[in-house]
Amino acid sequence: MDLPGKTAIVTGGAHRVGGAISLALAERGCRVVVHFHTSAAQADETASKIGKLGVECLKIRADLSQHAGILALFEAIDQVGWSVDILVNSAAIMKADDLLTADETDWARTIDLNLKGAFFCLQQAAVRMQSQGGLIVNITDIAGQRPWHRQPIHSISKAGLEMLTQVAALRLAPKIRVDAIAPGPVAKPESMDADRWREITHELPLQRGGDARDVARAVLFLAENDFITGETLVVDGGNRLL
């Protein structure tokens, strides 16, 4: 895919990994829809950086855990007359839960955004991509491939997103490609202290943590290689080898 002039939607695109993806796509000449829910200040900052690159940017607030919010996001894009060429499903939360005590509220809080939200965003994007084709990239997690007992619902949501990637790639080919990226330690959780983060990343085969830009570069790779679909690109510094 030739990126200049294409429209890319990045859910959760205001900051951290999503923000890095938004900026990387803008640097390649895409106009970018920066979706956010609560991170208004970060969305403003990212949009300002994109504007300085000389490309168009649209900020849209929406709660993607609600189907109405997903419809509102895509309707807002339709209203400005933009096509949908790329969707990056990056919006997600990661909460610690216990398998034996988690309740329906815990389940819905994670599944409704991480999996249901991604499913229906993919659906809305694919409907709009049918005529010209496009690319959908789901940001999963190494937790979707290896169980994390402290975040069981998160792990389940990301494993479901891996299967969604494969099912959608099969259904939407040949015009629409669907891939995934499974990051490892690329952004320190805000609740984690710096010493613990250094301990985790030093144990990796590469003996260092990654960066949100590593995931952004992976998105660009998938966008520009038209012969990859249904695959998950792992960006984890060798974490899976441990």
pLDDT at site 242: 86
In a domain, 103, yes or no: yes
The half-sphere exposure of 56 on its side-chain side, counting CA atoms within 13 A, is: 14
**Residue 66 in tokens:** 């609600």
Q: How confident is the model at residue 79 (pLDDT cuts 50, 70, 90)?
A: very high
In a domain, 241, yes or no: no
Q: Which tens digit of pLDDT belongs to each residue from 123-135? A: 999 999 999 999 9
Q: Is residue 2 part of a domain?
A: no
| Per-residue model confidence (pLDDT) at position 190 | 79
Stated pTM of the model: 0.96
pLDDT digits (tens, 9 = 90+) for 145-155: 999 999 999 99
Give the residue numbers spanning the domain of 69: 7-236
Check which CATH number belongs to the domain holding 77 and give it. Answer: 3.40.50.720
User: Does 1 reside within a domain?
Assistant: no
Q: Is 174's pLDDT higher than 80?
A: yes
Please state the rounded mean pLDDT for residues 21-45. Answer: 98
Written as one letter, the residue type at 35 is H
Closest by CA position to 229, among listed 126, 91, 131? 126
pLDDT tens, position by position, 40-61: 999 999 999 999 999 999 999 9
Residue 22 in domain:
yes
Count how many domains the chain has. Answer: 1
Beta-strand ranges (E) seen in the chain are 7-10, 31-36, 57-61, 86-89, 134-139, 176-183, 232-235
- pLDDT category at 192 given cuts 50, 70, 90 is confident
Nearby residues of 188 by Cβ (< 8 Å), 6 or more positions away: 194, 197, 209
Is residue 66 pLDDT above 90, yes or no?
yes
Phi, psi angles (nearest 5°) of residue 177: -95, 145
The yes-or-no verdict on residue 188 having pLDDT over 90 is: no
pLDDT band at 193 (very low <50, low <70, confident <90, very high): confident
